[in-house]
Amino acid sequence: PTPHQSAAVEAEEAVEGAPSIVASRVLGSRDSSGAPVLGFPEKYEAARAFVGDASDEHGGGIVWSEADVSDSDRLLLYALQRQAEDGQCTVGSPSYWGSERAKWKAWRDLGSMSQIEAMVHYARAVEELAPRWWEYPPLGLA
């Protein structure tokens, strides 16, 4: 392992049960806006923790019922999350019309996008919706 990888392992072991973003926070530098520089999948994991469950009215840092988040943005986040976590959509279409079918279609439309590419797009989408998302206190990145 490289010195950075060894330090990351030590940092994670120092905090019992710490999520992988802790090591990145400990070792990470900051960009010109003050945001932590995180790699992937750590940045995706942090953005996902900020968003919470996109199907829930009260996700993480975004309160979906109050945020200026369009339905198409919600569908995009849902589809990118599924692609990032589950890979290409291989499940059959829901037999009924409605929100479940819209979610399925959004995921299916991502085609063969790689999981890491979906993570990158997810993080970028979160940055567009909430440019200072990383300041959300429970993430511990500020």
Query: For the whole model, what pTM was predicted?
Result: 0.72
The predicted model gives 129-137 an average pLDDT of 86
Residue 114 has pLDDT above 90, yes or no: yes
Mean pLDDT for the chain overall: 77
Q: Note the pLDDT tens digit of each residue in 44-53.
A: 999 998 887 5
Q: 13: burial class by Cβ within 10 Å (0-12, 13-18, 19+)?
A: exposed
Structure tokens that stand for 2 in this block: 């490289």
Mapped onto helix, strand or coil, the DSSP state of residue 83 is: helix
Instruction: Please return the burial class of 52, using the count of CB atoms within 10 Å of its CB with bins 0-12, 13-18 and 19+.
Output: middle
Mean pLDDT of 13-31: 50
